[in-house]
Structure 1
Amino acid sequence: MSLHALALINASDYRPHALHGVDRAWAETNCYIDVWIEVLHAQGLNPLACLPMVFANDFDGDQWTFYKPPHEDLFALYGIDVQELNVWRGLLNNATVQLGRGRLVLTETDSFYLPDTAGTDYRTNHVKTTIAIQEIDLEQQKLGYFHNSSYHELQGEDFVETFRIGKPHDATFMPLFAEFVRLDQVQNKTDAEQAAISLPLLRKYLARRPRNNPVSLFLPVFIRDVEQLKEEGMAAYHAYAFACLRQLGAGFSLGAHYLRWLQQHQALQFEAAATEFDAISEVTKTLLLKTARAVMSKKAVDLVPLVEQLAVHWQQGMAALDSSLAGG
C-alpha cells in the first residue's frame, strides 16, 4: 500500500519549476531551498514569494549564508506549518505515520543511496543532503522524494539502506534531523496577495543585511583560501565552491528573479537592482571557473578584479533596492 502526502506523482512525468529550468544560470542552489521550490510548485504554489531572505545573505567567515525559507514565512505566505519530527521510532516508522496523516517529511539523508545523484555521489560519496519524502510503499520498497531540482523515486537496496531496514541496533547511530510539514491549512493565494505579504518580508530581510559590504570582507579571505586549495586539491575545491561561491552567486540569482516577480504585482520598479544581482550571479560563475583552473594548475592567477566587481555590484544593487523601496 502506498502512503503519500500529495496526490501520487509519477517521477517520469514530473516537470520542475522554471527556477530549475535548463536555461537557469544555476540549475541547483542548495538542497534545502531547492526542495522547497519543488514542494511548493507541486502544490500549485508560487515559490518566488518566499525568496526575500536571500538579501540578508552574508559572508560568515568560512561560508556564505546557507539560506533557507524561514518557517514563519512559509506559514504567512502559504499556510504551511513546519515542525521538527522526533525520530524516536526510526525514520521509516515515524515517516509513515506522518504520511498517513497527509504530511510531507523533510529529512537529512545520505546521497550515497539517492540514484538521482548518479555521476556525483550515488554509490560513490557519503554526503549529507535534504530530501522531502512524498510517498512510501512498504510492499514495493519504493520511496518517492523531492531532491535538488526535481522529483525522483528509488527502490530496493537503496530503500533498505536509506531507512536502515534490518540493521542491528547500533547505540552509536544518531538519527539525522527531520521535519514534518502540515498541509491542512494551505491557502492558494493569488500572486498579488502573496506579493502584498512578501513585500514587508523583503523590508525585514533588508534590515538584517550586513552593515558592511560582505564581498569586500570576503576578498582577502578568498585570496588566502585559494592558495590553500592549491595544496589541498580539487576535492577540497568542490566543497569550498559549494559552501562559498555557489551560495553567493545562486542566492543573488534567486534574488533577481524574486524582484522581477515582485515588481509585476507591486507599484515599484526593481529592474536596476535585479540587473546588479544578476551581475553577481554571472561574475561568480566566471570566478568559479577561474578558481577551479587556478587550483588545478597551481599557477598564480589574479582573481582580485573579479571579486572587486562583485563588491561593486552588491553595493550598487543594495543602493538601487533602497531607492526603489524609498519611492514606495
Structure 2
Amino acid sequence: MSVCALTNIDVNSYVPHALHGADRAWAETNCYIDVWLEVLHTLKLEPLACLPMVFANDFDGDQWTFYKPAHDDLFALYGVDVQELNVWRGLLDNALTQLQRGRLVLTETDSFYLPDTAGTDYRSNHVKTTIAIQEIDLEQQRLGYFHNSSYHQLQGEDFIETFRIGKPADPCFMPLFAEFVRLDHLQQHPPATLAAMSLTLLRKYMSRRPQKNPVRQFQPVFLDAVEHLKQEGLAAYHAYAFANLRQLGAGYSLGATYLQWLQQHSELRTELCLDAAITEFNAISDTTKTLLLKTARAVMGKKAVDLAPLTEQLAEHWDQGMSLLTTTLHLDAG
C-alpha cells in the first residue's frame, strides 16, 4: 500500500519548475535549494519568492556559501513549517508516520542508491545529498522522492539500502539528519502581496551582503587551487567546482531570475528599475560558466591557462551589480 504526503505523482509525466528547465545555464544548483524549488512548485507556490538569500552569498575561505532558504522565510512567505525529525525509530518508521500525517520528509541520504544520479554517483560514489520523501510503498519497496531537478522513484535493492532494511544493529552507524514539513498553515498569496513580502526579505539579505567584494577574496585562492588540482585529477576538480564555481555561478543566476520576477510582480515596479543589475548578475552566471569549462581544460590538459582575466571580470560584475541594486533599493552603501 502506498503512503503519500501530498498526492500520487506520476514520475513519467512530472514537469519540473522552469528554474530546472533545459534552457537554464545551471540546471542544478545545490541539493537543498533544488529540492525546495520542486517541493514549492508541486505545492503550487512560487519558489522564486524565497531566493533573496543568494544576495548574501560570500566566499567562505574554501567554498562559496551553500545557500539555503531559511525556515523562517519559508513560514513567512508560504506558511510552510519545517521541523527537525528525530529519527529515533529509524528513518523508515519515522518517515512513514509523517507521510501518513500529510508531511513531507527531507533527509540526507547516500547518492550511491539514487538512480537519478546515474552517470555521476549512482552505484559508483558515496556522496551525501538531500532528498524530499513524498511516497513510500512498503509492499512494492518503492520510494517517490524529490531530488536535484525533478521527481524520481527508486525501488528494490536501492529501497532496502536507503532505509537499511534487515541490516544488523551497528553501533557505529549514525542516522543522517532529517526534517519534516508541516503544511497546516499553508498560504497562497496573490503575486503582488508575495512580491512585497519578498522585497522585505531582499532588503534583509542585502543588509547581510559581504562588505568586501568576495570575488576579489576568491581570486588568489582559486588561482592557487587550480595548480593543486592539476596534480589531484578530475575527481578533485569536480568536488572543487561544485563547492565553488557552481555555487557562485548558479547562485547569481537564481538572483538575476529572482529580480526579474520581483520587477514584474511588485506593485513598486515603476520604481524598481532592476534591468541593469539583472544584466550584471547574469554576467556573473555566464562568466562563471566559461570559467568552469576553462578550469576543467586547465586541470586536465596540464597546460598553462591564464584564468585571472575571467576572475577580474567576475569581480567587476559583482561590484556593479551590488552597487546598482543598493542604489535602486535606497540602501546604505556600507
Name the SS of the counterpart of 1:194 in structure 2.
helix
Is residue 323 of structure 1 aligned with residue 307 of structure 2?
Answer: no
- CA shift, 1:118, in A, is 0.8
Match of residue 274 from structure 1: 278
**Aligned mates of 1:185, 1:8 — CA distance in 2:** 22
Q: Which range moved further: 183-192 or 131-140?
A: 183-192
Partner of 1:85: 85
> Cα offset for 1:7?
1.3
**Aligned counterparts, 1:292-307, within 5 A:** 292-307=296-311
Task: Write out aligned runs for 1:212-251 (5 A).
Answer: 212-251=212-251
Deviations 1:186-244 (A, max 9, x none): 11112111111100100000000110000001000001100010111111000000000
For residues 19-62 of structure 1, the C-alpha deviation after alignment (integer angstroms, 9 at most, x for no partner) is 00010010000000000000000011010000000000000000
Cross-structure match for 1:60:
60
Aligned match of 2:27: 27
Amino acid at match of 2:207: A
Alpha-carbon deviation of 1:69? 0.2
Q: Residue 293 of structure 1: CA displacement?
A: 0.4
2:253 aligned counterpart, secondary structure: helix
Q: Which string of whole-angstrom CA distances, capped at 9 and with x for unpartnered residues, describes residues 85-130 of structure 1? A: 0111100010001001110000000001001111111111111000
Tell me the TM-score normalized by structure 1. Answer: 0.99
Alignment of 1:1-328 (within 5 A): 1-266=1-266, 267=268, 268-326=272-330
1:132 counterpart SS class = strand
Aligned-pair RMSD on alpha carbons? Answer: 0.8
Q: Which consecutive unaligned segments of at least 5 residues does structure 1 have?
A: none
SS in 1 for 2:60: coil
Whole-Å separation in 1 of the counterparts to 2:286 and 2:147: 25
* Alpha-carbon offset, residue 297 of structure 1: 1.2
The AA in structure 1 aligned to 2:149 is S
Partners of 1:52 and 1:272 lie apart in 2 by 17
Amino acid at match of 1:69: P
Give me the whole-angstrom Cα distance separating, in 1, the residues matched to 2:155 and 2:192. 41
Runs of 4+ in 1 over 3 A off after TM superposition: none
Distance in structure 2 (CA, Å) of the matches to 1:189 and 1:10: 27
Q: CA deviation at 1:265?
A: 1.9
In structure 1, distance between residues paired with 2:274 and 2:94 = 45
Distance 2:328 2:58 in 1: 22
- Specify the SS of the correspondent of 2:12: helix
Q: d(CA) in 2 for partners of 1:15 and 1:323?
A: 38
Q: Matches of 1:221 and 1:134 in 2, distance apart?
A: 41
Instruction: Give the Å deviation of 1:135.
Output: 0.4
Q: Which amino acid aligns with 2:298?
A: A
Please, which moves more after superposition, 260-269 or 105-114?
260-269
